[in-house]
Amino acid sequence: MKRRRPRLSLPHVLLVAVLVFFYVPIGKVVVNAFNADASLNTWGGATLHWFRAALGSERVRDDFLTSAAIAGLSTVIAVVLSITAVMGAARLSQGSRRRLQTLTYARMMLPEVVIAVGLLLLIRKLGLNLGMWSVVAGHVIFCSAYATLVIQARFATLKGTYDEAAADLGATPWRAFTRVLLPMLLPAVAISSLLSFTFSFDDVVSTVFLAGSETETLPILILGMSRQGVSPDVNAIAVSFMAVTMLALALFALATWWRTRSAAQGTARKDPR
């Protein structure tokens, strides 16, 4: 498979440029987090004070866990709903498919605040209490829309293949799903999970309306703090938890790589990679 060597071309240059574009503001945030000048107007020397304050605060840690829990639950629910919906929709009539599609777009199109308030009014009408569940319910609305779109794009490119392969193998639908379809959907599932988790984790609009008094997430805390000016402590909190998230991901990636590697060594290697 080494026929097409990647050449240095316009896309590669753009890729590098875009990565720079993505990371320069992040760099700025990181630098701000170390700035000893609390007003951030000048460079006051480097300090770890803000990090110590951020990580030492129980409130910040609690909020991080709450955010992670909400994001995790929302992701799982959104992705599972999306996979089943995409698979089912492919076999429905064009009319019902279009109706489903419209609802997917509508969930992304409407300003989030409109959806959140609608849900709030409904919950109030039903006399239910707000809490973590209502935040998750709100997040799944838009997370599942994103997830559906991504998974659908992938599914669309392999719809026919999957049918034929499954038929060729004479497989039961369940086996066809787990053995053929799911592995092929995996990149889309991974990306939509990543997106859902990220969006839910950073959401403020729905959370403002749907969280009760017991539920405070990290972005809510950060937004509240930044109302009096974006000070280094806000930057430090943001950087700390980006680092935590990255570290967690890196560890799991490493663990998985380790597992696949040892598994690959156990069997005959058919692929060059």
Partner 1 sequence: MRRPSLRKLGSVAGVLAMTAVVAACGGGDGDGKAGSADSATVSFLNYPGWIGETEIADFQKANSGITVKETAIAEGGSAALASQLAQNKGTYDLVLAGNVTAKRLDQGKLLAKFDPASVPNLAKIPQEYRDAYPWGVPTNTGKVGIAYNKELVTDPPKSWKELFDRADEFKGKIVFPDYDRDVISIALLALGYDLNSTDAGQLAEAEKLILAIKPKLLAFASSDQDKPLLSGSAAIAVLYDYTYAGAGSDKIAWVSPTEGTPGYIEGVVPVAGGKHGDAAAKFLDFHLDPVNYAGFINTTGASFLMKEAESGIDEKILDNVALKPSDTSPFLAEQFLDPKTEEARNAMWQRIKAS
Partner 2 sequence: MTVLKTGRRPAPSAPTERRGGPRAERWRARLLVAPMSLYVVLFFVAPLILLLVYSLGRIDVLTFEVSFGWTLDNYRALVDGVYVGAIVRSLVLTVTATAACVVIGFPVALAISRLRGPLRTLCLVGVVVPYWISFVVRTYAWLDLLAPNGLANKFLTALHLIPDGTELRYSTFAIGVGMVYGYLPLMILPIYVALERIDPAMIEAGHDLGLGRTKVFWKIIVPLAMPGTIAGALLVGIPATGEYTIPAILGGQKTLMAGNVAADQFLGTGNFPFGAAIGSALMGIMLAVMFASRRRLDRLEDIA
Stretch that binds partner 1, among 3-11, 86-94, 159-167, 179-187 (CB under 8 A): 179-187
Please list the alpha-helical segments (H only) found in 35-131.
49-56, 58-89, 94-109, 112-125
Least distance to partner 2, CB of residue 84, Å: 5
DSSP reduced 3-state for 214 = coil
Q: Does 94 bind partner 2 (CB under 8 A)?
A: yes
* 164 exposure class (CB count in 10 Å sphere: 0-12, 13-18, 19+): exposed
Whose CA is closest to 228, among 48, 39, 55?
39
218 is a site residue for partner 2 (CB under 8 A): yes
Residues 32-51, mask of contacts with partner 1 (x by CB under 8 A): -------xxx----------
- Cβ distance to partner 1 smaller for residue 34 or 201: 201
Can you give the length of the chain in residues?
A: 273
Residue 63, token pair as written in the block: 């909020």
10 Å CB burial of residue 225 (0-12, 13-18, 19+) is middle
56 near partner 2, judged by CB under 8 A: no
- Min dist CB 250 to partner 1, Å, is 9
Q: Which does 21 bind (CB under 5 to 8 A by kind): partner 1, partner 2, none?
A: partner 2
Q: Least CB distance from residue 135 to partner 1, whole Å?
A: 11
Distance of closest approach, residue 166 Cβ to partner 2, in angstroms:
8
- The partner residues of 35 in beta bridges, in order of sequence, read 46
Considering only the stretches 9-17, 43-51, 52-60, 259-267, report the one whose residues sit in contact with partner 2 under the rule CB under 8 A: 9-17
Shortest CB 268 distance to partner 2, Å:
19
The continuous run of DSSP H or E covering 182 comes out as helix 182-201
User: 51 and 231 in contact (C-beta within 8 Å)?
Assistant: no
Instruction: Work out whether 161 is an interface residue with partner 2 (CB under 8 A).
Output: yes
User: CB-hemisphere CA count at 13 Å for 241?
Assistant: 25
The whole-angstrom separation of Cα 99 and Cα 93 is 10
Tokens 């839910």 belong to residue: 200
191 binds partner 1 (CB under 8 A): yes
CB of 214 to partner 2, least distance (A): 21
Residue selected from 87, 150, 221, 239 as contacting partner 1 according to rule CB under 8 A: 221
Calculate the alpha carbon distances from 216 to 51, 121, 143, 148, 204 in Å: 20, 20, 20, 28, 10
CA dist 250 and 242 (Å) reads 12
Answer yes or no whether residue 120 interacts with partner 1 by CB under 8 A: yes
Q: Does 66 bind partner 2 (CB under 8 A)?
A: no
> By C-alpha distance, which of 220, 210, 216, 203 is closest to 123?
210
Residue 12 in contact with partner 2, rule: CB under 8 A: yes
- Residue ranges that bind partner 1, judged by CB under 8 A: 1, 39-41, 59, 62, 65-66, 68-73, 75-76, 79, 117, 120, 123-124, 130-132, 183, 186-187, 189-191, 193-194, 197, 204, 207-209, 212-214, 216, 219-221, 223-230, 248-249, 252-253, 256-257, 260, 264, 271-273
